[in-house]
Structure 1
Amino acid sequence: MMDMLLSSLAVLTRKIGVALVQLVLIATLVFSIMYVMPGDPVMMLLGAESDPSPEAVAAMRAKLGLDQPVAVQYASWMTGLLHGDFGRSVTDGYPVADYIAENLPLTLELAAAAVVVAMAIGIPLGIVAALRRGTVVDSLLTSFSTIGISLPVYILGAMLILLFALKLDWLPSSGYMNFSRNPPEHFRRLLLPALTLGFGLSASITRMTRSSVLDILDRDFVRTLRAKGMRERRIIGRHVLRNAAIPIVTIVGLQLGNLMGGTVLVEAMFNWPGLSTLLVEAVSTRNYPVVQGVILTIAGLYIFINLAVELVYLLLDPRIRRRRV
């Protein structure tokens, strides 16, 4: 027991160390955004066509900290990150961390809802396809997964708006309602963007679940359980799904990063005020501190999700601990 605990701790420590190194590298790249972008960011912010005075240019450079050496700027920015300080918006002086704190929960809620929708659709369909292998049902579900993977989110979103909002008038086409004001309406407005974002993931989960379940069904221990007279439902629920869970967790974890990227289109389409909407607005106004903070937050979330998936691996399959020590 002690050896298993120590091996788990060693794997966890190594994974956290790798994640921290990745965060530092990404933070360095994000810091470089202002220097690799074409043009002078100060002139872009002030408006080159307005011919700003040298005093205004110098004041803006001092406000952004661009009057200091690059090494000093980098050290100051990294020190601020360690204290949770992403700087201030150049348009209104509002702390970037506060902007992120206001918008991040809505993006996380949308991503979580999309994962729930995807798993609620994909896992049952994948199990049915595996149990009906070679039948018409299997062919139909396989075709569904192919369509779901290849269909862009903006096309699917438009189709869902036409069907459920304009044709059937069941759901609102866009907009956001605060949960504290009207919880039912909040979830009604969340459903269409979550379905749009989760449909493609559900197709991937369907295919992975089908493949994993078929692989486990062909194992010797399943034949033994059947020979002993165990009911098929119990075999599937207690033994097959547990062993097939790791590939499913893998595809969900890997696709979560894509979901974070997909929220840019979905949030814009459904007017959902999340982190991606904040990023688009910051890019359009050349608000570089906000752009840097949002990109770093999204990258950090992606790294954290991958780390969480690795930890779930350890819980689902102890053999992984022994192999990776």
Structure 2
Amino acid sequence: MNASIAGALLLVGRKLLTAFIQLLVIATLIFSVMYIMPGDPVLLLLGADSNPSPEAVASMRSQLGLDQPVMSQYFVWLWKALHLDFGTSLANGYPVSRYVLSNLPRTLELAFAAIIIATLIGVPLGIAAALKRGSLRDTILTSVATIGISVPVYILGTMLVLFFSLKLGWLPASGYTDISRNAFEHFRKLTLPALALGFGLAASIARMTRSSMLEILGRDFVRALRAKGMSERRIIWQHVLRNAAIPIVTIIGLQLGNLMGGTVLVEAMFNWPGLSTLLVGAVSARNYPLVQGAMLAIAALFICINLLVELLYSLLDPRIRRKRT
């Protein structure tokens, strides 16, 4: 087997093992939520106001498996979770996995739409600012990026609703329409929450792009390429941007992972029925199986995204692959 292929497989294997260990640790912490959160799930299910008899409480504990030792409950729950079985909702007995699978695509769609908007705005602005360092353009773009980072998402979301929805009437203020029913209306309702979520990310990406570009532009090999007569456009797009891509990919990947758990305010503000909205409702209702399933899904996505970003590093810069193998 070729040494480079073997090294790449070894790197992937190490990353997968690390991701599995991380997920196992997080799953253990999530399982502990049942014992940390206040309230008794059995009394919640039976209704504390109805004063259930001890026999009914004991029967329900046995049915839910809560009468078993904690470690037995943990291993049973973990084994079921590996098979995507997170139990049933305490509210209506509906499988938690179906709740997660129905809400997860909406959160993913919102997060990917936000990161696409952020990348399309942030990377060109960062490049434009770096190419004119110290100029009026650089000052203006840097100031806009600073403002974008400083403005909370709920304030920006409110401003977007006031301007684009109430004043101009271009976009709906909130709501959700299934894409299979009306694709145009679906994307109209997706626009404002994606903009609200993506603007702050665009500012972060723009600042990172500017900083990374300036660092590469100051290196000796760039001056050597200019001395050889290579065109400035070719230097920027073929050499500078490629070498500056790793920090940019880093922040994009990390921000995408953070978006998995950071869409709570946006989903609530724009009435977008995603996984974060499901989690908030489950916490309020002390619906422990639903809380555990939603949290584990978000954590698994975060770990998988970080894994993909780290593997992408090796494709962008072979030196990282050689160093780690």
> Into which bin does the TM-score normalised by the smaller protein fall?
over 0.9
Match of 1:174 in 2: 174
Segment drifting more, 30-39 vs 246-255 = 30-39
Instruction: Indicate conservation of the 8 Å contact 1:157/1:196, yes or no.
Output: yes
Q: TM-score, normalised by structure 1?
A: 0.96
1:221 equivalenced with 2:253 (yes/no): no
Match of 1:208 in 2: 208
CA distance in 1, matches of 2:60, 2:11: 47
Match of 2:313 in 1: 313
Match of 2:29 in 1: 29
Match of 2:66 in 1: 66
Match of 1:146 in 2: 146
Name the SS of the counterpart of 1:89 in structure 2: coil
Name the SS of the counterpart of 2:55 in structure 1: helix
Q: TM-score, normalised by structure 2?
A: 0.96
CA distance in 1, matches of 2:48, 2:220: 73
Name the SS of the counterpart of 1:94 in structure 2: coil
Whichever residue aligns with residue 317 of structure 1, its letter is D
Instruction: Indicate conservation of the 8 Å contact 2:112/2:256, yes or no.
Output: no
CA distance in 1, matches of 2:61, 2:155: 43
Map 1:64-143 → 2, pairs under 5 A: 64-143=64-143
Name the SS of the counterpart of 2:244 in structure 1: helix
CA distance in 1, matches of 2:124, 2:40: 54
Give the C-alpha shift of residue 238 in structure 1. 1.4
CA distance in 2, matches of 1:302, 1:106: 16
Give the C-alpha shift of residue 19 in structure 1. 0.6
Could you list the runs of 5+ residues in structure 2 that have no partner in the other structure?
none
Name the SS of the counterpart of 2:263 in structure 1: helix
Match of 2:273 in 1: 273
Tell me the alpha carbon deviations over residues 90-122 of structure 1, each in whole angstroms, 9 at most, x when there is no partner: 111111111111010110010000000000110
CA distance in 1, matches of 2:152, 2:55: 49
Tell me the alpha carbon deviations over residues 232-272 of structure 1, each in whole angstroms, 9 at most, x when there is no partner: 22221111111110000111112223212221110111011
CA distance in 1, matches of 2:49, 2:90: 19
Instruction: Indicate conservation of the 8 Å contact 1:42/1:57, yes or no.
Output: yes
Give the C-alpha shift of residue 228 in structure 1. 2.7
Segment drifting more, 201-210 vs 63-72 = 63-72
Give the C-alpha shift of residue 27 in structure 1. 0.8
CA distance in 2, matches of 1:59, 1:153: 47
Match of 1:192 in 2: 192
Segment drifting more, 14-23 vs 56-65 = 56-65
Could you list the runs of 5+ residues in structure 1 that have no partner in the other structure?
none
Tell me the alpha carbon deviations over residues 120-167 of structure 1, each in whole angstroms, 9 at most, x when there is no partner: 110000000001100111111111111111211111111111111111
Instruction: Indicate conservation of the 8 Å contact 1:45/1:286, yes or no.
Output: no
Whichever residue aligns with residue 308 of structure 2, its letter is A
CA distance in 2, matches of 1:198, 1:69: 46
Match of 2:288 in 1: 288
Whichever residue aligns with residue 20 of structure 1, its letter is F
Give the C-alpha shift of residue 4 in structure 1. 1.7
CA distance in 1, matches of 2:60, 2:153: 40
CA distance in 1, matches of 2:288, 2:231: 61
1:155 equivalenced with 2:150 (yes/no): no
Instruction: Indicate conservation of the 8 Å contact 2:39/2:286, yes or no.
Output: no
Match of 1:39 in 2: 39
Whichever residue aligns with residue 296 of structure 1, its letter is L
CA distance in 1, matches of 2:142, 2:265: 27
Give the alignment's Cα RMSD to 1 decimal: 1.4
Instruction: Indicate conservation of the 8 Å contact 2:41/2:287, yes or no.
Output: no
Match of 1:263 in 2: 263
Whichever residue aligns with residue 190 of structure 1, its letter is L
Aligned length: 325
